[in-house]
Amino acid sequence: MFAKRQSALAAAAGQAPGSGASGPGLGPLIRFLKRPMVAVGAAGLLTLGAAALFLVVLGDPRAGMPSARVALSREAPPPAEAASAYEVFAADVFALYQDPSALPEGMAAEAAIITLPDGTRAAGGAGITAPVLPARPLPPAPVAGLSRPGPDGPLPVIAPDGRTPATAYARPFQPDGRPRVALIVGGLGLNAATTRAAIERLPAEVTLGFVPHAEGLQGWIDLARAHGHEVLIELPLEPTGYPDNDPGPYTLLAGEGPEAMEAKLDWILSRAQGYFGLTNYLGDRFAASDVAAADLMSTLRERGLAFIDDGTLARRPGAFARATATTVIDETQTPAAIIGRLNALEAAAKTRGQALGAGFSYPVTVEAAARWTAGLNARGVQLAPASAMTRRPGR
């Protein structure tokens, strides 16, 4: 073996430069590169290098080809199930009254459907949990001398001795010098469960408004007075968009004559006894008529009845006694929105000395009002019936 290695060295020594011989330091490298696996690897690296150089010099060869992008997104999680009124108000999340923004997300009124006189359906909350309050009864109606027979039933009148329904059927009130706030909850008589809850769970000072078309209206008014609530009858008045926007049968229209108005009004006033006044149900178009509004107020004044509006007829004086609500508390029917309006009502009372709010008998409204009124005394505010907010013309 030694002799063969000597012969190979001797042959290599006799070759001319460039004819296949390398310098003494490159021989091992050349032999290494001649190995099959090394050669394959080197060829691969050379190919990759050439491709990279091609892209750098000439750019992406696919740059001009059509392309498309697909936007991928995750499906949004399903909305949280709305909490029931029990979960909203039983949870001690804002101590019955405070910042409504403290309500947990998703705390909204659970749906409950109430049919309005015009046939539309309104949603409210469900599951009223405020406690039943002890009854603080008012004298039963009717009071002698405050009615006379009418074509459809007894009609309210001023008694010969000067007593009026506006004073005789109102809840007595003695101011104590503190700011006072009053609240009307209307739309009652349409839903038996909510009507009973409002009667039994709201303080006696909260004034209740009943729909004249309600079945068993006199029984509801008797029950309300037995629990201490003074009562208003809701008067359907012509709104913008009538008759598509229809408050229901016996709606008083701005363009009808005094005889037609009197006939409708007599039917509504004879539906029951024991109410101290009326309040409007809708009526912005009616309120725009000087003649119609004046005729209505004149009739109520002659019958000794008060009139309290929700702001729609604020500039219309008259009736035996008048008041206008400071705010409607439940235009948005969620606990947070209603509590916010009640907070604002209370703040207005502390600033101005008194304030009057109005709301509809959505279960969530009844629940919120019951919880809010429970803490008024501790917060330095006196709860008053709505009749205490009325003023007689010229006084």
Q: What is the mean pLDDT of residues 40-48?
A: 58
8-state DSSP, 395: -
Q: Delimit the domains of the chain by residue range.
A: 109-389
Of 105, 145, 111, residue with least CA distance to 125: 111
Confidence at 58, pLDDT banded by 50, 70, 90: very low
Cβ 168 vs Cβ 304: under 8 Å: no
The string of DSSP letters for 332-376 reads S-SHHHHHHHHHHHHHHHHHHSEEEEEEE--HHHHHHHHHHHTTT
Decide: helix, strand or coil at residue 156: strand
Instruction: Please give the sequence-ordered ranges of beta strands (E in DSSP) within the chain, or none if there are none.
Output: 112-115, 121-124, 147-149, 154-156, 180-188, 207-210, 231-236, 277-281, 306-309, 321-324, 327-328, 354-360, 382-384
Cβ 166 vs Cβ 321: under 8 Å: yes
Q: Give the Cα separation of 376 and 144 in Å (integer).
A: 36
> What interhelical angle do 217-226 and 192-201 show, nearest 10?
20
Report the pLDDT value the prediction gives residue 119, as an integer from 0 to 100.
Answer: 53
Averaged pLDDT of the chain: 80
Q: Give the Cα separation of 297 and 293 in Å (integer).
A: 6
Q: What is the mean pLDDT of residues 44-53?
A: 57
Which structure tokens are listed for 230? Answer: 């003074």
pLDDT of residue 351 exceeding 70, the answer is: yes
Confidence at 167, pLDDT banded by 50, 70, 90: very high
HEC-encoded secondary structure of 42-68: HHHHHHHHHHHHHHHHHCCCCCCCCCC
Report the pLDDT value the prediction gives residue 315, as an integer from 0 to 100.
Answer: 87
Decide: helix, strand or coil at residue 307: strand
Report the pLDDT value the prediction gives residue 131, as an integer from 0 to 100.
Answer: 95
pTM of the model: 0.73
Residue recorded with tokens 């209603």: 338
Q: Which CATH superfamily is domain 109-389 in?
A: Glycoside hydrolase/deacetylase (3.20.20.370)
Cα→Cα distances 48→44, 56, 63, Å: 6, 12, 20
Least reliable range by pLDDT among 14-18, 80-84, 139-143, 209-213: 14-18
pLDDT of residue 27 exceeding 90, the answer is: no
Cβ 156 vs Cβ 273: under 8 Å: yes
pLDDT of residue 12 exceeding 50, the answer is: no
What percentage of residues in the chain have a pLDDT greater than 90? 66
pLDDT of residue 289 exceeding 60, the answer is: yes
Provide the 10 A C-beta neighbour count for residue 190: 19
Confidence at 34, pLDDT banded by 50, 70, 90: low
Q: What is the mean pLDDT of residues 207-235?
A: 98
pLDDT of residue 196 exceeding 80, the answer is: yes
pLDDT of residue 69 exceeding 90, the answer is: no
pLDDT of residue 147 exceeding 60, the answer is: yes
Of 318, 315, 305, residue with least CA distance to 283: 315
Report the pLDDT value the prediction gives residue 30, as an integer from 0 to 100.
Answer: 52
